[in-house]
Structure 1
Amino acid sequence: MHLTIRSLLLPLLLIFATAVSAEPLSIYVSILPQKFIVERLGGEHVRVSVLVGPGQSAETYEPLPRQMAVLSRAALFYRIGVPFEDVLIDSIKSANPAMVLLDAREGVTLREMESAGEHHDDAAHGHAEDGDDPHIWLAPANVRIMIGHLRDRLIALDPAHADSYRENHARFDQELIALEQEIRDLLGPLKGRRFMVFHPSWGYFADAFGLQQLPIESEGKEPGARTLKRLVDQARAEGIKVIFVQEQFAQSQAAALAAAIGGRLVTLDPLAEPYLDNLRQVARAIEEAYR
């Protein structure tokens, strides 16, 4: 009788254990491009939630109570370096001491944010401090560094699917190499050129492909009359006819500047989720601006 019960229970226990191990890792990220990156590596083995949704600004974002509740049950919080995360970290650790924290900036060389109308060639090193540029995901080479650390952390959390994470990493890494070469071929003839942006989101992208971004605002502050005049003069001198803006920010000053130089506005979104296609679109938009 005991053997019969044991023989019946064993398959049920195996089914239960398989179901438990098949539960995807609950991962929270700050922005949509991270969601794309984590899902590319984790596939069906991860369930990704994002804090800053479509059309929202990471500069002004405040978490909702329901998001904090889900965060308290997450296995991993994958931070990127945007300012609001600093406010959240203590609360997250208090609510979920067992949650693993992974910083996407690990191993990435950080650069400084430009001031209005300026370009900084000197890069800062280490983790972000005041003035460091958090938009690290906008250079494919940075994402290649990021996904190596992410792969290792996923394997540590879920060793049963290590082979899947390694295979996904190798495939994604090759996609990033191909994307970088594709953009380099497209933008190579523009090496050294400046492109004007409202918010300085594109510094890592510009550095990666031999360009320079020329921001209109910095540190969330719109430029004064003197800076605007300098920007108009510079745009005219360099033949800049396109100003790149993003939907998360007001565009009135950018529109006024575009009118002053006889140019136009083009929307680029550094927070778009389809990362690979978005960078291709950005590269084409910049290339078309100089035809």
Structure 2
Amino acid sequence: MKRTVVLALLTLLPAFLAAKVNVVVSILPQKYFVEKIAGDLADVTVMVPPGASPATYEPKPSQMKALYKARLYFAIGVPFERAWLPRFLAQNPRLKMVDVTKGIEKMAMAGHHHEGDRESGSANGEAAVAHPDPHVWLAPPLVRTVARNIAEALIAVDGEHKTVYEKNLARFLREIDALDARLRKLLEPCRGKALMVFHPSWGYFAKTYGLRQIPIEIEGKEPKSRELAHLIREAKEEGVKALFVQPEFSRRAARAIAAAIGAKLLVADPLAADWSENLLHVARTICRKGE
């Protein structure tokens, strides 16, 4: 009888040892980062699926169930977190909330700077609130900090695998540095170039690689006719040949500007799952000959 029990326990031991850390993240690029560091030691659930907006997304019941089992939630500052993180903690008080942007100095979201723009103030004279730009994952040097924060949190809840996490982190940091070097080489010929985008997601990317981001949409609003006319003049003055849009946003205003200046409408997805290849693709598109 005792021998049977021992054998049964030995049979279950591999499954026990292979238990994964249940992790929840807000967006797909974070899943890429966690898997680089945790490998097969973590089971990652992503809140915002492809094609959805982190500004307006509401979790599904199945995702709320995953949160109940989760040990870690890696927050990155996207808008839906402001409303939902307190609810996630109420759902699972044991959940450890980790701000993966800790240690990063964030910029304000980009705004228009011409007379009468939306960020010059409200109709009653009150100054508009400049929200921090959450898109830190689009600048590889900042992702080094994100990666370290992820590794630190994983080690805190799964210290048995500290050596694995540290080894994977070191490897990932080398990959980030290599990617950064490739992006700098690709974008060097285009330093100072205007990068016209629909949603102001690419501010950190532009700052890192010497580009200037010109956004169309500000704080979720499309430009009014006066602003649209200014953007068209600015695009012509800057010689903009391509206008970048995101899959989850309306393209009406972007199409109007592109048609007025004879520019191509191209997709640049800041939420793509393959983080490194996506940044290389965007860099090649920005600096493509003739663009």
**Structure 2 length normalisation: TM-score?**
0.90
Q: Which residue of 2 aligns with 1:165?
A: 165
Q: Does structure 2 retain, via aligned residues, the 8 Å contact 1:30–1:52?
A: yes
State the partner residue of 2:124. none
Amino acid at match of 1:278: N
Number of residues paired by the alignment? 278
Note the 1:37-116 alignment, pairs <5 A. 37-116=33-112
- Written as runs of structure 1 = structure 2, the 5 A alignment for 1:1-291 is 9=5, 12-13=8-9, 16-116=12-112, 131-288=131-288, 291=291
Partner of 2:69, secondary structure, is: coil
In 1, Cα distance between the equivalents of 2:244 and 2:237? 18
Post-superposition shift, 1:117?
6.0
Mapped contact 1:117–1:227 kept (Cα < 8 A)? no
The amino acid that maps onto 1:60 is T
Residue pair 2:110, 2:218 contacting (<8 A) in 1 also: yes
The amino acid across from 1:183 in the alignment is L
> How much does 1:21 deviate?
3.0
Residues 289 and 136 from structure 1, CA distance in 2 versus in 1: closer, same or farther, beyond 3 angstroms? farther
Tell me if the contact between 1:242 and 1:289 (Cα under 8 Å) persists in the aligned partners: no
**Shift in Å, 1:11:** 5.9
| Alignment check: 8 A CA contact 2:56 2:79 kept | no
- Return the offset for 1:6: 6.0
**Secondary structure of 1:48's aligned partner:** strand
Deviations 1:184-221 (A, max 9, x none): 01111222221100000000100111111100110000
Which amino acid letter does the alignment assign opposite residue 151 of structure 1?
Answer: A
Unpaired segments of 5 or more residues in structure 1? Answer: 120-128
**1:57 Cα shift?**
1.1
How far did 1:36 drift? 0.8
Name whichever of 92-101 and 29-38 sits farther off: 92-101
CA distance in 1, matches of 2:54, 2:95: 22
Tell me by how many angstroms 1:13 deviates: 4.0
Q: Deviations over 1:50-85 (max 9, x none)?
A: 011111111221111221121121111111101111
SS at match of 2:287: helix
Judge conservation of contact 1:116–1:223 (CA < 8 Å) in 2: no
After superposition, the CA RMSD in angstroms is 1.9
The answer to whether the Cα contact below 8 Å between 2:140 and 2:179 also exists between their aligned partners in 1 is yes
Q: Distance in 2 between matches of 1:156 and 1:17?
A: 23
Cα deviation per residue 1:147-178 (whole Å; 9 max; x = unaligned)?
11111111111112112111111111101000
Looking at structure 1, the residues matched to 194 and 289 of structure 2 have their Cα atoms a distance apart, in angstroms, of 11
User: What percentage of residue pairs aligned between the two structures are identical?
Assistant: 43
CA distance in 2, matches of 1:242, 1:216: 13
Give CA deviations for 1:78-108 in whole Å, capped at 9, x if unaligned. 1110111111122111121111111111111
Instruction: List 4+ stretches of structure 1 deviating above 2 A.
Output: 5-19, 116-119
Retained in 1: the 8 A contact 2:109–2:130? Answer: no
Deviates more, 1:230-239 or 1:13-22: 13-22
Segment drifting more, 54-63 vs 249-258: 54-63
The answer on whether the counterparts of 2:189 and 2:287 sit within 8 Å (CA) in structure 1 is no
